[in-house]
Amino acid sequence: MKQWLLKLFQFSAIVTFLLSIAGFWGELSYLLEITVHFKWQYLAIGCLISLFFLVRGQPVWLIFSLCIVLLNLSFVLPWYLPANGFSQLARSTNTNSNPLKILLANVNIANQNYADTLDLIQSTNPDLFAIVETNQNWLDQVAMSGVFPYSIQSPNAGNFGVALYSKFPLKPVNVPTLPASTVSRVQDYHVAATVEIDQTSVTFIAIHPPPPITAVLTNLRNQELQIVGDFVEKNPSATVILGDLNTTMWTTAYRQFEQHTNLKNARKGFGILPTWTTRLPLLFIPIDHILIGSNFTVLDIKTGKNLGSDHLPLIVELAQF
């Protein structure tokens, strides 16, 4: 039995190591990209395996398993370190505006638990609410809440609908869309609007690109990120991007998008904050994101309670410098 257990942990170490490095070639295949999303899980498994080999007195396998730990720690740890080397308190005391509270929620069209989402809106009292993977039923429910006098919705996105609700007047912004294709007739994966906040014009873009579950859909997701990235690059005003990007921070597609837009993830310094999937907590990964420009600082960001969707909402407080 002891020998069988040793073999099992050795096999687990090899598999975890291979999965940990497979994502480096994620651009070659959407299947390889999928392996990159589970960095904290590989880290946890690596720690467990290392402890086993330490107790069993297996120095070679211990070193190997520690390599797994260090490799994945290098991806996870930076998200817990203060952004730009400053403490959150120091950052929060160097702002010149009132906090801006934003709520982002992928509500899942199959979810009809409207009450919990409306309760969250009432309790958090956000200035802006970005809702993705929505349909007309959800839009009607939010409209009836009476919280937001202004809104803008994607007109033809079907089950991938996105919308922005605001306490501030919204001025629609025309961001180019993907051409319709035989694979996906959805074009409006995003909506955008400009808001005047403390005498500053800020562009908010709510986005929900296709899920990368096939090579074709992965390519469509990347094209959508490219189009939005091009727009932000050519319009360097203050920008905030909110949505389910269908990618974690560790993919090449995400890193290129962040560099393209010159925006930073609001969760930096607050942890990885996994948001999907609530149905399999051990596979929780962070695919819902809020990206902000350098003129913003994050006062707080956290996940909200389970609303009946397969995603957790994100709640963020921002301030402008």
Q: Could you report the per-residue pLDDT of 7-46, keeping only the tens digit for each?
A: 999 999 999 999 999 999 999 999 999 999 999 999 999 9
Sheet with 238-244, side-by-side order of all strands: 171-172, 190-197, 200-207, 238-244, 288-292, 264-265
Which two structure tokens, joined as six digits, stand for 254? 């995400």
pLDDT at 96 over 90: no
Among 51, 80, 109, which residue terminates a domain?
A: 80
pLDDT of residue 179: 76
In degrees and rounded to multiples of 5, residue 206 shows phi and psi of -95, 135
Helix (H, G, I), strand (E, B) or coil at 35: helix
Residue numbers of the domain that contains 297: 83-320
d(CA 208, CA 79): 23
Domain count for the chain, please give it: 2
Q: What is the mean pLDDT of residues 178-200?
A: 77
Q: Are residues 69 and 89 in the same domain?
A: no
Q: Are residues 70 and 117 in the same domain?
A: no
Find how far residue 170's CA is from the centre of its chain: 24
- CATH number assigned to the domain comprising residue 212: 3.60.10.10
Which residues are CB-neighbours of 178 under 8 A, at least 6 positions away?
187, 189, 220, 223, 224, 227
Query: 10 Å Cβ neighbour count for 215?
Result: 11
Helix (H, G, I), strand (E, B) or coil at 168: coil
Are 35 and 23 spatial neighbours (Cβ–Cβ below 8 Å)? yes
pLDDT at 76 over 90: yes
Helix (H, G, I), strand (E, B) or coil at 184: coil
Among 56, 80, 104, which residue terminates a domain?
A: 80
pLDDT of residue 185: 55
Q: Does pTM top 0.75 for this prediction? A: yes
Q: Are residues 15 and 90 in the same domain?
A: no
Q: Are residues 90 and 153 in the same domain?
A: yes
Q: Are residues 37 and 163 in the same domain?
A: no
Q: Are residues 292 and 155 in the same domain?
A: yes
Q: Are residues 281 and 132 in the same domain?
A: yes
Q: Are residues 156 and 15 in the same domain?
A: no
Q: Are residues 62 and 114 in the same domain?
A: no
Query: 10 Å Cβ neighbour count for 321?
Result: 11
Q: What is the mean pLDDT of residues 132-150?
A: 89
Q: What is the mean pLDDT of residues 250-264?
A: 95
Among 80, 104, 124, which residue terminates a domain?
A: 80
Q: Are residues 28 and 122 in the same domain?
A: no
Q: Are residues 279 and 189 in the same domain?
A: yes
Q: Are residues 53 and 104 in the same domain?
A: no
Residue 85 — pLDDT band, cuts 50, 70, 90? Answer: very low
